[in-house]
A and B are shown apart, each in its own frame.
Chain A
Amino acid sequence: MNELLLITFSPLVAGVLAWLVRIRGVRESLGILGAIVPLAFLIKLYPSLDHPIRATISLGGFELGFSMSHLNWVFSMIAAVVGLSAVFGMASTAKDSYEWLFSLMSLTGALGIFMAQDLVTFFIFWEVMTFSSFMMVLKFNRAASLKYLILSIIGAYSMLVAIGIIYAKTGTFTFADISAFFRKEAMLAMLGGKSTFSRFDMALIYLLFLMAFGVKAGMFPLHVWAPDAYSETDQSYTAIFSGVLSKTGVYGFILLYVLMYGKLLIDLGQFKGTPLFGYIIAFLGGLTIIIGGVLAALQEDIRKLFAYSSISQVGYILVGLGIGTSLGIEAAIYHAISHALFKGLFFLVVATIIYRTGKTEFKDFGGLAEKMPFTFAMAFIAILSLAGIPPLVGFASKWLIFEAVISQKLPILGGMLFFGSAIGFVYLIRFTYAVWFGQRPSDIEDTKDAPLPLAIGMGILGTLNVVFGVAPGLVAKELNAIFGNPVIGGNIWELDLGFGRYNALLVAIWLVIGVLIAAILYFLGASTRKVPVTDTYQSGNPVTMEYNLTIRRNFFLPLKETMAFWLRISFDKLYKDTWKAIEDFAETARNYIYNGNVQAYAWYLAIILLILAAMGV
């Protein structure tokens, strides 16, 4: 048995077994085993990556091809690591075998996508992933799952049409052949020769793929499914959903570069020294950052907050990708890794909080840090990492994206990135304070810390957040291996771009020293005094109950009121209205045509006969 097939299918097999066995304990061990196997084999395969490893299976006349090179390995590792942590989390939170089956199946889907080497395999695993994640959401919330399914299906059919166009003109599904074909096309176009794909074809293929991958990545304006789907499912599973499945869209965009970069560049032209098609992705990514961030700040439910924040963070990846320089793409992949690590950690933290307290809204929380010290430590790592505080992994990747944007001199995108980081602090400060500090409501007085499996899951991701943060060179070395040349210089502790450098170890050492000094000062005799929460926020002024903005209730209401006009413009509402209009139209047409009058039907028949006679049938 080939290793690649083992990696891809072992979660699925484990899921099916777990579904059949239904014995508590056995089921959980099977699931965890199914998630460990891919990780173990991926690590084992690492030394032999320089010669791509291949595997094929034939299925109904199609050869499904898998291959593994550095790029596939990096993304598969994201899936395997986050998948394993999430599966550990699920050992605590999953309620029945149904969840085990479909969450492991979606892991298989993601691994298959990352290792596919032809469009058919890619599409089949894409659909496996969509189906299983739909089934997961369906169990918790029907409306959210339908919204997800409809948008996914629109994306999937767009992709299918694009694949069809490519196959009709090239006659092959294999990535290597397609890529070679488009390279030849680009050369022909440059020399002024006649090419198989017209400019219109390329624009169409690009738009169709943009739609397909944009839906999965949660790109504006196709992000509307994500807040509902991420929040309305098992939160441990959301770690896979947001950490891994959203990366399949990102991987799709990278595939667009791999397959048809030159041809798209020539046919669609450039904008400010950046390929236009990339700039569109980057600009939509920038809008995603802003909109996801602002909406995250206005949420009252932690699950929703992180769902929007996840959308916002994927926006960074799209910006990095869209710039299209090798630095930009490396930065984007780096951020894909760090997003998977910190967002997976966040959702496991949320899963723990919900598992232990059963509450989801900010107004019910407070002062949990004393009761759940381990979970708090993990949450703190995730907060620092998402906000981009050195020396955690989030800083290294965001810094690379900023440098990539700035070095290309793109002020609008840069502004969007900076705004996104600012708004990131805005919503994180609320999560930090409202959940962990302040006064504890009496009904969560006896909350315990995370159960062991969840703690293991969080521990894996938390450790990696710190390790890759302090030693960013580990990731950068692997990313350079994808391109085959050192784009990001420096050693294991330091990133060096030529025009800027970041030494994570130094920062970490200074940070530790600073924390030590602060701790010494604190213990030497800082005098503390307890104050009621309300006093800190209203400066002693009496407030009326209807405008009582504590950090737990309507904290950003003023922001909401300021932006009321913009918030009314929502794509979610637009889609709903469109949907309603289609339904109304269909209803009217149905009433008008199927009016139940026999004579009307006889008229239709007569008219059709007349038309047929006129056509000479």
Chain B
Amino acid sequence: MISAYYFGAISLVLIGLYAVLVKKNLLKILIGLSIMETGVNLLLISIGYVSGRSAPILSEGITPSQAVDPIPQALVLTAIVIGVATTAMALSVAIILYEKYRTLNIEEIRRLRG
């Protein structure tokens, strides 16, 4: 039986992918990208989870053997930052595109570009 964490995370990725593949509105595609990114982050985190252990912070009464895997958490921290940066960048491109073409429908934009 596949774990609910994996199932949920992969579902999020697929929902995001669906939005990227099918939706015509640029903002909806960007939303799809964001959802995909969230799904990927959740998947990474759930890979590092070990049932019954606590957060990987060395403190009173917690030894390395009692903590979950810290590496995915570090990865995800990086991935979140990258994700925010790309989203911000993409949104600024979307603003420019709207100012230039007065529409956010990607097919319209392609047609107008010639």
Contacts and interface: CB of A to CB of B under 8 A. Distances in A.
B17 A599 contact: no
B111 to A, nearest CB: 11
B30 to A, nearest CB: 12
Which DSSP category, helix, strand, loop or mixed, fits chain B's interface? helix
A596 B20 contact: no
Nearest to B22: A599
Contacts of A603: 21
B31 interface: no
Interface string B1-29: 00000000000000001001110000001
Which DSSP category, helix, strand, loop or mixed, fits chain A's interface? helix
Interface string A582-617: 000000000000001111001100100000000000
B110 interface: yes
Contacts of A598: 106
Contacts of B110: 596-597
Nearest to B26: A598
Nearest to A599: B21
B106 A606 contact: no
A606 B29 CA distance: 15
Contacts of B20: 599, 602
Interface size for chain B: under 10, 10 to 19, 20 to 34, or 35 or more residues?
A: under 10
B106 A602 contact: no
Contacts of B106: 597-599
A603 B29 CA distance: 13
A597 B105 CA distance: 12
Interface string A301-312: 000000000000
Interface string A89-128: 0000000000000000000000000000000000000000
The winner among B20, B22, B29, B106 for most chain A CB atoms within 10 A is B20
Contacts of B17: 602, 606
Nearest to A596: B110
Interface residues of A, number: 7
Contacts of B21: 599, 602-603, 606
Contacts of A596: 110
Nearest to A603: B21
A596 B22 CA distance: 16
A606 B17 CA distance: 8
Contacts of B22: 599
A511 to B, nearest CB: 79
Contacts of A602: 17, 20-21
A596 B113 CA distance: 11
A137 to B, nearest CB: 42
A598 B21 CA distance: 9
Nearest to A609: B17
The winner among A596, A599, A603, A606 for most chain B CB atoms within 10 A is A599
Interface string B23-44: 0000001000000000000000
A590 B17 CA distance: 25
B68 to A, nearest CB: 27
Interface in B68-92: none
Contacts of B29: 599
A599 to B, nearest CB: 6
Nearest to B32: A602
A286 B21 CA distance: 62
A606 B22 CA distance: 12
A541 to B, nearest CB: 66
A598 B97 CA distance: 15
A597 B111 CA distance: 11
Interface string B88-114: 000000000000000000100010000
B37 to A, nearest CB: 15
Contacts of A606: 17, 21
B108 to A, nearest CB: 13
A598 B22 CA distance: 11
A599 B26 CA distance: 11
A599 B19 CA distance: 10
A611 to B, nearest CB: 15
A603 B106 CA distance: 15
B109 to A, nearest CB: 10
A599 B110 CA distance: 11
A604 to B, nearest CB: 10
A589 B20 CA distance: 24
A597 B106 CA distance: 9
Nearest to B113: A596
The winner among A596, A597, A602 for most chain B CB atoms within 10 A is A602
A598 B109 CA distance: 12
Nearest to A595: B110
A599 B106 CA distance: 9
Nearest to A597: B110
A212 B37 CA distance: 56
The winner among B21, B22, B106 for most chain A CB atoms within 10 A is B21
A602 B22 CA distance: 10
Interface string A341-371: 0000000000000000000000000000000
A109 to B, nearest CB: 51
A597 B22 CA distance: 12
A402 to B, nearest CB: 69
A603 B110 CA distance: 17
A596 B21 CA distance: 14
Contacts of A597: 106, 110
B101 to A, nearest CB: 15
A598 B20 CA distance: 9
A603 B21 CA distance: 6
A602 to B, nearest CB: 5
A603 B18 CA distance: 10
B104 to A, nearest CB: 13
A598 B110 CA distance: 10
A598 to B, nearest CB: 7
15 contacts: A596-B110, A597-B106, A597-B110, A598-B106, A599-B20, A599-B21, A599-B22, A599-B29, A599-B106, A602-B17, A602-B20, A602-B21, A603-B21, A606-B17, A606-B21
The 6 tightest CB contacts between A and B, nearest first, are A602-B20, A602-B21, A603-B21, A606-B17, A599-B21, A606-B21
Given A599-B21, A602-B21, 5 more contacts: A596-B110, A597-B106, A599-B29, A599-B106, A606-B21
